[in-house]
Amino acid sequence: MNAAAYVGERAILEEEVEARVAALRTGPLAARLPRSETADGRNLRRWVVQVMTHEAVIEAEAAALGLRVDGGGAGETLTLPAAMRMGGVAAAVLARSPLAREVRRHVTAGVEVPDEEIRAYFERNPDRAGTPGEAQRLRREAADRAFALWLARRHAALVRLMPGFEHPADPRHADAAHRH
């Protein structure tokens, strides 16, 4: 059994990655996926490893923080603007995992937007002043950015990717076509 990645001491096995890719290939969007023998197909595998390692980071951090989700924990729906703010992997993990949403709540509990920043926003955008929920939206957006940054830092600290499973944008592999 070969590892595709390590999250701390936990191995994400190649067969786990292949099973996840196989599930995608038999799912409702299968016809939209690239063929596995192509560069895009190999990058799909790399993307799946990114998602799986981020999920494992969430699981490890939740355990360290003593966080759990009781029941199904459907939680809130992830909106497209929130997904765009956070980036693909963070959004994918939040959309799929009630535990990730619980970790997000914990990590961002202290995120505040100072009143002076809110006032300055309304001064720059007078058409938005008085819009119900606008200040709350600014706070939610700040929390989204804080969570995405926290997750990226924890991922960088905990994850080791094995050769062939690098990030799709990593220029060290021949299939690197993805750019940020």
**Is 87 a domain residue?**
yes
pLDDT, residue 76, reads 63
- DSSP letter, residue 74: -
Domains: count for the chain: 1
Cα gap 43→34, rounded to integer Å = 9
Q: Tell me the two tokens of residue 147.
A: 């969570």
Cα gap 90→98, rounded to integer Å = 13
**Is 171 a domain residue?**
no
**Is 154 a domain residue?**
yes
Residue 112: give the domain boundaries. 3-161
CB 85 within 8 A of CB 58: no
Cα gap 173→166, rounded to integer Å = 8
Q: Give the model's confidence band at 57: pLDDT under 50 very low, under 70 low, under 90 confident, else very high.
A: very high
CB 138 within 8 A of CB 132: no
Cα gap 93→57, rounded to integer Å = 10
Cα gap 42→24, rounded to integer Å = 14
**Is 170 a domain residue?**
no
Cα gap 93→47, rounded to integer Å = 12
State pLDDT tens for residues 80-111: 676 666 778 888 898 889 999 999 999 999 99
Q: Give the model's confidence band at 56: pLDDT under 50 very low, under 70 low, under 90 confident, else very high.
A: very high
Q: Which residue has the higher pLDDT, 117 or 16?
A: 16
**Is 172 a domain residue?**
no
CATH number of the domain at 108, please.
Answer: 1.10.4030
Give the global pTM: 0.85
**Is 53 a domain residue?**
yes
**Is 174 a domain residue?**
no
Cα gap 155→54, rounded to integer Å = 6
**Is 176 a domain residue?**
no
